[in-house]
Amino acid sequence: MSIGIHIATDFISTATLSRGGDFVFYEQIETPIDDTNALCRGIAELVEKSSAGASGGASGGASAAVSVAVNSGFGGQPSPPNTAPILAKIDVKSALQASLGRPVECIAPAQAYALYEAFYGTAQTSGVACLLHLDQNVTGGVTFGQTLWKGGNRLAGAWGHMPLGWPVAHELDGRDCWCGRTGCLESFISASGVEADYFAATETALSIAQIATAAEQNDIVAESVLQILDDRIGRATAMLINMLDPDIITLAGSIASLDRLYVNVPRKWPGYTFSGKTATSLVRASSGIDAIVAGACIHAAAAR
């Protein structure tokens, strides 16, 4: 029996999965603001409940494998700015292993998402698949069949901190990134990056959803910002095609809700991919299930 945990900014999800990918147990609690003892205690209680729930009421004890999807200095790097503040205070893996009394494995949330897609979502039949999670941050994951590729430094899928491919002059203006570098892909194709582009042109603050609505209502600036986004995501995904030649690229996160991307982005590929034409598909990630905590369950099962 395997348990998945997703520690997000506002909530902690804990779950177990059936072989068919359905939740056998699922529960959420609020993420404590600054009490690390409360964090560990709350997770321990959820793990105990999930163990009992999956075994028909009897505690699963130390036999259950646990995997945690968390952005917390992952791979030795600093945490993104929208990470739960409490996570900056602890080594999550060590703290939970001590609290739970059992081994704990950690992966990035987008890696867990990619693993879910490989087992139950869009990438089930793909030999090589890339997931690009486009939200306030840009992250991702790579799977070969149903195997997650984490890499020697456990950083596979850290797309957000590569440079934007084939930049034009005004894209070399030294955009600062929270990681301490400049010109990272995240500063161009994250939701916050797109919102900053619109604000720079209009001095009006709109969310990515509001920008999309404005473009539909013939806002010329909003449409221009989204056309630039189409091309930038086209360049970013073309780099993935040139590097890994995936069968499928899956988009997740708030930007993935833009229907235009699945038409416009593949049209950009011939101008950037080495082969010109490509058989790679661009699809939207699965919805209707907490894919990250489910992916953590799958990772826990594989780690046993």
Residues of the chain with pLDDT under 50: 57-62, 74-75
Identify any residues that bridge with 12 across adjacent strands, giving them in sequence order: 7, 29
pTM: 0.91
CA distance 112 to 21: 14
Alpha helices in the chain (DSSP H): 36-54, 92-100, 109-120, 186-189, 191-202, 208-216, 220-244, 261-268, 291-303
Q: What is the pLDDT of residues 132-151, one digit of tens each?
A: 999 999 999 999 999 999 88
Q: What is the pLDDT of residue 175?
A: 85
Name the residue ranges covered by the structural domains of the chain: 2-112+289-303, 124-284
Assigned architecture for domain 124-284: 2-Layer Sandwich (3.30)
Q: What is the rounded CA–CA span in Å between residue 138 and residue 145? A: 23
Task: Report the CATH superfamily, name and number, of domain 2-112+289-303.
Answer: ATPase, nucleotide binding domain (3.30.420.40)
Query: How far is 118 from 142, CA to CA, in rounded Å?
Result: 9
87 φ, ψ to 5°?
Answer: -70, -20
Closest CA to 180 of 78, 102, 71: 78
Q: At CA 117, angle to CA 263 and CA 111, rounded to 5?
A: 105
pLDDT confidence of residue 55: 56
